[in-house]
Chain A
Amino acid sequence: MLFFRSEARVIEWCSDRQVPVRPIVTIEQLWGLALAWYATRLAPESRRPQPGEMVKIFAGLGLSGEFWDPESRL
């Protein structure tokens, strides 16, 4: 889970390693993920999102498809 200067740099990085290019996530979307996972992490009632919740969180941020499905066989 890495930062890149641009989508072009992601494509170069994946090509150099002969690995698939995965969905590109914007910084705005990444902040949404950070809030969803961690905004209550220091509180007693904090817990990790369950698979069904994860799918909803991802979809709410425009991240859908098999890559984002925690129960997929991808």
Chain B
Amino acid sequence: MSGGIGPASADLDLEVKLAVYRHFAATGTRPSADQIAGEVGADVAGVVEAYARLRAQRVLLLEADGASIRMAPPFSGVPTQHVVESGAVRYFANCAWDALGIPAALGMPATVRSRCEQSFESLRLDVGVDGPGRSDWVFHCLVPAARWWEDLVFT
């Protein structure tokens, strides 16, 4: 595969994106490139090239190896302090926003567990399909919107 952005690449990118998200939604964990290759019927090199294009489109954030998924927002490929439980699956979210993004994406009730970053008080937030119940906790983002993707892990 050449890595060009023709119709075939666009089709593969969509298949890869959907397979990645289906895997996260079903398991709470990141898939390997091998698993995605098997899912979409492509070779691993082709999947890694699709990952790079999806990174350029700000769909995925990759580890330095270019083949491991760090983020498929709202899902995190690595453990974080933001834990979401829905059904029998445990998910990790990239940030507080994504912690609510997981039940929004799943369209299912969930329990969000996190903490106050200053006091370390534990947060438990039950989220229904129509959203969370009343809560006087707050969300704070230090990085302006224009800079979110400059360093998404820090953001």
Contact = CB atoms under 8 A, between A and B. Distances in A.
Interface of A: 1-7, 9-10, 12-14, 16, 19-22, 24-31, 33-35, 37-39, 41-42, 44, 48, 54, 58, 66-74
Contacts of B106: 42
Contact of B104 (A16, A19, A34, A73): A34
23 contacts: A1-B94, A1-B98, A1-B140, A2-B96, A4-B117, A4-B118, A4-B138, A5-B116, A9-B118, A9-B119, A12-B118, A13-B118, A13-B140, A22-B141, A22-B142, A28-B131, A37-B74, A37-B97, A41-B73, A41-B105, A66-B144, A69-B144, A74-B144
A48 B58 contact: yes
Nearest to A19: B142
| 8 tightest A-B CB contacts, nearest first | A1-B95, A34-B100, A38-B101, A9-B118, A5-B116, A25-B139, A34-B104, A13-B118
B146 A70 contact: yes
Interface of B: 14, 18, 21-22, 25, 57-59, 73-74, 94-107, 114-119, 121, 123, 125, 127, 131-132, 134-142, 144-148, 155
Contacts of B155: 1
Given A41-B21, A42-B105, A25 B140 contact: yes
Given A31-B100, A34-B100, A54 B137 contact: no
Given A3-B96, A35-B104, A27 B138 contact: yes
A37 B21 contact: no
A10 B141 CA distance: 10
Contacts of B74: 34, 37-38, 41
A65 to B, nearest CB: 10
Contacts of A24: 138-140
Q: Which of B21, B22, B101 has the most CB of A within 10 A?
A: B101
A70 B109 CA distance: 31
A5 B107 contact: no
Contact of B25 (A25, A26, A42, A69): A42
A42 B116 contact: no
B153 to A, nearest CB: 11
